[in-house]
Amino acid sequence: MAKVTIDGISIDVPDGTTILNAARMIGGEIVPPAMCYYSKLKTSGGYCRTCIVNVSKGSDKDPRPMPKPVASCRTTVMDGMEVQNLTSPALLEARAGVVEFLLINHPLDCPICDQAGECDLQNLAYENGKEQTRYEFHRREFEKIDIGEKVQLHMTRCILCYRCVKVADQITDGRVHGVINRGDVSEISTYIANVIDNDMSGNVIDVCPVGALTDRTFRFKQRVWYTKPMDAHRDCPKCAGKVRLWYKGEEVLRVTGRKDTYGEVQDWICNECRYEKKRTSDWTIEGPTHVTRGSVISANHYESLRALKATIARQQRAVPHGPKVLLGQGALDPNNTSNHQ
């Protein structure tokens, strides 16, 4: 075991644990953001650099600080290490520079992007980005292409996190897409005329942190904050069969894998579950998905009738004019003087 201190909070972790995972064991706001790291994918991480931290003390044996910020997803802890994440103004400035670099070519077209509302880059830009960019050159642009029957690629939004490449490498029989070219002309593409055609191909959509890879069956059908996510499962011979159903009324608009607190898929699902099982009768419903209050999807989302009643009661106590104003009926009252203000 090694003892590491992150932003003044100490924890004992097994040897070989990375700084990022040690921070996740502590939890809360001190966890560095991560766009490319994925705990379930081998060799992931180290590409986006958004998880950089400042190591002010290397270890008890060698207390010298590390000379520059390091990627917390690739740096293992040492006994006695002290790490600064939110407590170092210089590091926060460096992270803002990394975000600015990521946004050089990625357009913030959130209002028309299908990933809006569940995009890690959207949150990252809001929390760690800058209001203006210093980039004055023409941004690179790509045409949208279909790299599979159900998968569309919009390279203009890609940040080259390599997640889709690694998930195709590790859970499919043969990968046919990857990164071509080098440097600032690198892009995700398929080899010549190949398309992604395997029974687990839909997982590349789930791991994409931005709107570069999207579900063609769900595109522009509905905003996620207007949907109702429900956890469900079925007996599937190809995968775990544990999914998340996204409802609009009684209609299932899409099926995705379940994700944890850090946006990582808990169990890979097959294309049959994802695309062909969109009826409630196909599934055993477990209940409403737990959505954190920090997500826009939590708007009007209640996990139980008891929670809904508690919220209404709390709002009624906060509103001096009673439930009519809360429920929007005050506007229909001709005696309500606020209508004329």
Kindly report, residue by residue over 143-190, the tens digit of the pLDDT.
888 888 888 999 999 999 999 989 888 888 778 788 888 887 888 887
Per-domain residue ranges for the chain? 2-101, 110-215, 224-298, 307-340
CATH class held by domain 2-101: alpha beta
Mean pLDDT of the chain: 86
* Cβ–Cβ under 8 Å, residues 166 and 43: yes
Is residue 51's pLDDT more than 80?
Answer: yes
CA 158 to CA 17: how far, in whole Å?
29
CA 263 to CA 115: how far, in whole Å?
13
pLDDT of res. 185: 81
Tokens 């407590």 belong to 87
Q: Which residues have a Cβ under 8 Å from the Cβ of 104 and sit 6 or more positions away? A: 133, 135, 139
CA 200 to CA 273: how far, in whole Å?
10
The identity of residue 199, as a single letter, is D
* Whole-number Cα distances in Å, 229 to 92, 284, 290: 34, 14, 9
Is residue 329's pLDDT more than 80?
Answer: no
- Stronger pLDDT, 328 or 314, i.e. the higher one: 314
Half-sphere exposure for 26 (CA within 13 Å, toward CB): 23
Give backbone dihedrals phi and psi of 314, rounded to 5 degrees, phi first.
-65, -40
- Stronger pLDDT, 142 or 335, i.e. the higher one: 142
Tokens 């599934």 belong to 283
Supply 236's token pair: 């599937």
Is residue 333's pLDDT more than 50?
Answer: no
CA 194 to CA 176: how far, in whole Å?
6
pLDDT of res. 134: 83
Mean per-residue pLDDT, 27-54: 91
Tokens 């008890």 belong to 60
pLDDT of res. 318: 67
Q: Using alpha carbons only, what angle is made at residue 262 by residues 256 and 265, rounded to the nearest 5 degrees?
A: 30
CA 35 to CA 209: how far, in whole Å?
7
pLDDT of res. 338: 42
**Straight-line distance from the first to the last Cα atom of the chain, in angstroms, rounded to the nearest whole number:** 66
pLDDT of res. 334: 45
CA 219 to CA 328: how far, in whole Å?
33
Q: Using alpha carbons only, what angle is made at residue 187 by residues 163 and 254, rounded to the nearest 5 degrees?
A: 50
Mean per-residue pLDDT, 208-231: 91
The identity of residue 78, as a single letter, is M
pLDDT of res. 296: 84
Supply 125's token pair: 């830009």
Instruction: Count CB neighbours of 88 within 10 A.
Output: 17
Tokens 């390279």 belong to 155
CATH class held by domain 110-215: alpha beta
> Mean pLDDT: which of 71-80, 130-139, 166-175, 300-309 is highest?
71-80
Convert the pLDDT of each residue in 282-310 to its tens digit.
999 998 998 887 788 887 777 766 666 77
pLDDT band at 15 (very low <50, low <70, confident <90, very high): very high
pLDDT of res. 175: 81
CA 21 to CA 77: how far, in whole Å?
10
pLDDT of res. 332: 42
- Strands (DSSP E) contained in 7-150 are 9-13, 52-57, 70-71, 81-84, 145-146
pLDDT of res. 330: 42
Mean per-residue pLDDT, 198-216: 90
CA 77 to CA 99: how far, in whole Å?
25
Q: Do domains 2-101 and 110-215 have the same CATH topology?
A: no
pLDDT of res. 83: 96
Mean per-residue pLDDT, 26-30: 91
pLDDT of res. 192: 55
